[in-house]
Chains A and B, each alone.
Chain A
Amino acid sequence: MSSQDTPEENLPAEPPHGTDAEIAPSDALVPDPGLPPHLPRRQDIDERAAKRSERAVAGLFTLSMLATIGFIAGFVAIDVDKIIYVWPIGHISALNFTLGCTLGIALFAIGAGAVHWARTLMSDEEVVDERHPIEAPPEVRQRVIQDFRKGAGESQFGRRKLIRNTMFGALALVPLSGVVLLRDLGPLPGDKLRHTLWAKGKLLINQNTNEPMKPSDITVGSLTFAKPDGLEETAEDFQEQIAKAALMIVRLEPEDIKDKRELEWGHEGIVAFSKICTHVGCPISLYEQQTHHVLCPCHQSTFDLADGARVIFGPAGHALPQLRISVNSDGYLEALGDFTEPVGPSFWERG
């Protein structure tokens, strides 16, 4: 196409910056007019405006210096535990607020000063630079390929297949040592995920009072958390054990319990379920008295405690395991054995 295709008044006499119009993509409707002419800024023609910019930049840098002094003063003067009220944030640490604001201003002012300097005083005339192809010219490519062939030939790598194959073998095998070394990262699972501390005769200990419980302690509508007798918080493996043994106890009206086995495994409507969600192991903590639903606060799996703790909503895959309980000769709630299935999240060997 030629310039005759476009209205004459839109065409400058020649591209102002001498850009080669032929570089333009060929199918643009009009030729590339080149970079628009550079327009001077106020600061370029008015020295007073430039002075104002200079003062603004210097002012920002000065502000930064003052803020740094404020930071050091605040660090020395303000107690680490002093709490102040700042509207609208609320009660916050005076030291954190002071240090953060002063350091923030000290940093921001340097940046704002530098950017203002660049925008108002440094030259804003756009500069054009050439690009060069990323790939090498053909002669360089040829040369490198030849060099490589020569080097490969001199190594006799391609000719002596025995060396090549054994080297590949050695290099392939040697990382195996590294894999083997990782073996002692942990013990093998064995059946550890199948067992908890619960066993026949273990008393149910209330987590809040640290005392064993009588059926009369559990009222309808309440939610009680329990741990097995003998597991103390000071125990070395407390976290590991409670991660599996955590128990929740509710009391339902026996006629409300729809699942026959659930009723049998409880005591006068008192039923005990694993507190560990069967989805990915969060402790379940939200209990709705009216519907007998419990909800996991992590991923909202919902279980119906009146119906064998089966899943009624959410991502959990199976019901919460129930612990068979009864009352011992002293009248305290006790376990009649361990959970009959693994608690917590599912795993390959669970079956």
Chain B
Amino acid sequence: MSTNDNPKSREKAPAGQKAADWADGRVGLYNLAKSNLRKIFPDHWSFMLGEICLYSFIIIILTGVYLTLFFKPSMGEVVYHGSYVPLQGVRMSEAYESTLNISFDVRGGLLVRQIHHWAAIVFVAGMLVHMMRVFFTGAFRKPREINWTFGFLLLVMGMFDGFLGYSLPDDLLSGTGIRFMEGAVLSVPIVGTYLSFFLFGGQFPGFDVVPRFFTIHILLLPGIMLGLVVAHLILVVYHKHTQFPGPGKTNKNVVGMPLMPVYMAKAGGFFFVVFGVITLLSAIATVNPIWAYGPYRPDQVSTDAQPDWYMGFSEGLIRIMPGWEINFAGHTLVLGVFIPLIVFPLVLTAIAVYPFIESWVTGDKREHHLLDRPRNAPTRTGLGVAWISLYLILLVGGGNDLFATHFHLSINAITWVVRVSFFVLPPVAFIITKRICLGLQRRDREKVLHGRETGVIKRLPHGEFIEVHEPLPQGKVFELTAHDQPKPLEIGAEVDENGVVRKVKRTQKVRAKLSQAFYGEGSQIPKPTPQEHEEITSGHGHH
């Protein structure tokens, strides 16, 4: 099998090796491969979430290029005479007509369109879940803060590129989405009307918005995103992957399988798995059936008008906001639309800046390559769950009409529940999550001190029944006690015993307060001390 190992002359070398020699002389291939061919990748199921994002991004590019061969990004009006009978004789834009042609006349066109749309749905969902994985395990800590930011930008751009993409066919549903966008832009104080006229090339809808969106959708945003993806991956390779703590795994090593062959086969194979699953999904589940919606007309709309899921939380914001308007001095401040427009990026930014806030609060300058178990960072985990609860309740708000019709509830009641939950749910979610984390920490402590419950019941000579506890293996004890337990920062007394007042900056006070909240009493369960451990284990586990 391994001809490479034979110290044979170069003439006998296999063709691949000759090609590699050739490339090495031009681009320094061997120096590049030296450290990377057997690069170690730790294995954990959650590490494939990022792969799903990367692969669906590639699938989107492949199918997107195909779609551009047939799609006409034009709002010029035509009368439809194609093969989809219900719409024959209907006036529509060339964009909508060409999308109908892709769906009904180009063989395989419908499949590629559906793969493109499904992959976009998976792409954004994958990014959000991947981001949560990174968040809850603390993988964003130094040295990975920049890569966190790149990933966040990819999420935001992915959302917007998705919105632009499903707006292109100029169907009734997506046109309604663009109209909503016009209303949102108009609400911007002072410049809103001008921005809207520049965006649409005049009054809504005009003739410019589809070709403009097209260029941004297929060139501008994907170009930036491709650059960010490459930078994201370069940093992943440079930093080496994080790993979960465990026996033999330290902050200074990386334990796992080599790139060649195992990771190549697994990750390369996984690309085909993702592509295959998305393709099968496109074969059996119709997504965005634009022919059923009809062409866009500003005076028509269908019920159940919903954006794609990733825009759902912004839809929730706009639906639950009370219609506040302030008229003064001949002007209107459209708070009912403008506040959601501002809160929308704030919701996203809240999660994006968290790593920087945490590193400021902790003052931690060390590199972290070992992941946290979420329970061991209760405050962070609580904040993350609070954010998710906010996101989810806004999704519910965005689908309030669907909840009303499917569950036979009053839409007004649902809207009010969402309005109240927007403020109440995140703190409640935070408190509950933190308590669960602390409970899990207590259980870990219990296990370390008293061992595993074996289920074996023993009767003692004097008649008492006890359950035998088995001490944990050393590796397990190590795993459960290896994590850091940071101490809260202290600023010390402001007045010393001689009555001299020490000047403490306000930011320092805030930082100490936050640090107390993160790591103070009630925010973590102390790990067992060696003394406690010895006392119990010397008595051999049962009590």
Contacts and interface: CB of A to CB of B under 8 A. Distances in A.
A286 B303 contact: yes
Interface stretch (A23-31, A146-154, A162-170, A320-328): A23-31
Contact of A23 (B253, B331, B400, B415): B253
A185 interface: yes
B331 A345 contact: no
A129 B254 contact: yes
B528 A29 contact: yes
A24 B277 CA distance: 42
A298 B180 contact: yes
Given A28-B481, A31-B478, A346 B299 contact: no
Contacts of B38: 127
Given A36-B248, A300-B411, A99 B331 contact: no
A313 B208 CA distance: 35
Contacts of B298: 239, 242-243, 246, 276, 281, 283
A347 B193 contact: yes
B40 A127 contact: yes
Interface stretch (B19-27, B131-139, B258-266, B461-469): B258-266
Classify the secondary structure of A's interface with B: loop
A346 B186 contact: yes
Contacts of A233: 91
Q: How large is the interface on B (under 10, 10 to 19, 20 to 34, 35 or more residues)?
A: 35 or more
B73 to A, nearest CB: 17
A340 to B, nearest CB: 15
Contact of B482 (A17, A25, A107, A234): A25
A12 interface: yes
A316 B336 contact: yes
B459 interface: no
Contacts of A35: 247-249, 255
B327 A108 contact: no
Nearest to B400: A300
A71 B415 CA distance: 48
Nearest to B301: A283
B341 to A, nearest CB: 10
A136 interface: no
Nearest to A105: B276
Best-surrounded residue of A29, A86, A108, A118 (most CB of chain B within 10 A): A29
Contacts of A133: 367
B366 to A, nearest CB: 10
Interface string A324-351: 0000000000000000000011111111
Given A12-B474, A297-B304, A348-B191, 5 more contacts: A75-B108, A103-B283, A107-B275, A128-B255, A243-B204
Q: Which 4 A-B pairs have the closest CB atoms?
A: A100-B283, A280-B183, A108-B276, A114-B269
14 contacts: A5-B533, A25-B250, A30-B478, A96-B111, A100-B279, A117-B265, A124-B257, A130-B252, A246-B299, A297-B305, A300-B400, A315-B322, A345-B183, A345-B186
Interface of B: 38-40, 83, 91, 104-108, 110-111, 114, 143, 176, 179-180, 182-184, 186-194, 196-206, 208, 238-240, 247-258, 261-262, 265-266, 268-277, 279-286, 297-305, 318-325, 327, 329-334, 336-337, 367, 369, 400-401, 411-412, 415, 448, 471, 473-475, 477-478, 481-485, 527-528, 530, 533-534, 537-538
